[in-house]
Amino acid sequence: MEKIEKYELEDAYDEIAEKRKCGMRSVLTHIENLRSEMKRKCERSPIEAVTSRIKLFPSALEKCERKGFEPSIESFEEMHDIAGVRIIVPFLDDICRVKEAITRRKNLEVVEERDYIKNRKPSGYRSYHLIVKTKITYEFDDDWPLVEIQIRTKAQDFWSSMEHKLRYKNRNPAPAVVAEMASFSDELYEKDKWMVHMRDYNKIESIVGDENEESIAGMSDSLLKLQALKRS
């Protein structure tokens, strides 16, 4: 195979990244429409914040090196996270709600799902990943560029931000630091689950105060037990 000069490889990458950027803009439009729709129907949108980014050429090269394969046009085309969109939600169960809403969108095809919420990475990283294709219509043809969507809670986003800062100066932090960060991630995960219970328990308190028995009947058994315990 003929060796490609670095500048040629960068030009090829920029072309791929530009197509992914078009896909990212399309995904962002889908998410903003979804956000407005959820707020209109439910008075509360679970989507609190949305950010996006395009992976720069040096970062793509670094990923190739880290994964142990030669940088090439083919490897760049297979890279699913060149375009990334991040969705931040307040509660743990909002992740599933947003994920299911995204998978129902027309002109979005889910290629792969990766659940790092229940199955965190060894580092402690938690997030739900959707790899999607979105239809882009050009002048003479169509394209379906890949976009990675990450959905995580505010607590998980805080953890990720702190972990990134720790690794900024040292790509290989001390084992004790890695272990502490993994343990911290588990603690935050338990707090995330507890906050869901507190939110739903608060709903029961509000309903009981209004003596709305019909609405109480729709609550989960576990939360009704909490209410019964408080009354006893």
215 domain residue, yes or no: no
User: What pLDDT score does 141 carry?
Assistant: 86
Q: Between these two residues, 2 and 142, which has the higher pLDDT value?
A: 142
| Least confidently predicted of 13-22, 53-62, 133-142 | 133-142
Residues labelled as active-site residues? 148
pLDDT bin (cut points 50, 70, 90) of residue 33 is: very high
30 domain residue, yes or no: yes
Q: How far apart are CA 65 and CA 15, in angstroms?
A: 21
Q: Which residues constitute the domain of residue 16?
A: 6-154
Calculate Rg over the CA atoms of the chain.
Answer: 22
120 domain residue, yes or no: yes
119 domain residue, yes or no: yes
Q: Between these two residues, 151 and 208, which has the higher pLDDT value?
A: 151
26 domain residue, yes or no: yes
| Closest residue by Cα to residue 15 from 54, 69, 48, 51 | 54
User: What pLDDT score does 170 carry?
Assistant: 74
Please report, as a single letter, which amino acid is at residue 40: R
106 burial level (CB within 10 Å; 0-12, 13-18, 19+): exposed
173 domain residue, yes or no: no
| Least confidently predicted of 73-82, 134-143, 163-172 | 163-172
pLDDT at residue 232 greater than cutoff 50? no
60 domain residue, yes or no: yes
User: What pLDDT score does 231 carry?
Assistant: 52
Beta strands, E only, 91-135: 108-115, 128-134
pLDDT at residue 12 greater than cutoff 60? yes
CATH number of the domain within which 104 lies: 3.30.460.10
160 domain residue, yes or no: no
147 DSSP β-pair partners: 132
Tokens of 207: 């309903």
pTM of the model: 0.84
**Angle separating helix axes 57-67 and 6-42, nearest 10 degrees:** 100
Element (H, E) at 182: helix 175-210
The count of structural domains within the chain is: 1
pLDDT digits (tens, 9 = 90+) for 102-114: 999 888 999 999 9
| Least confidently predicted of 38-47, 61-70, 103-112, 142-151 | 38-47
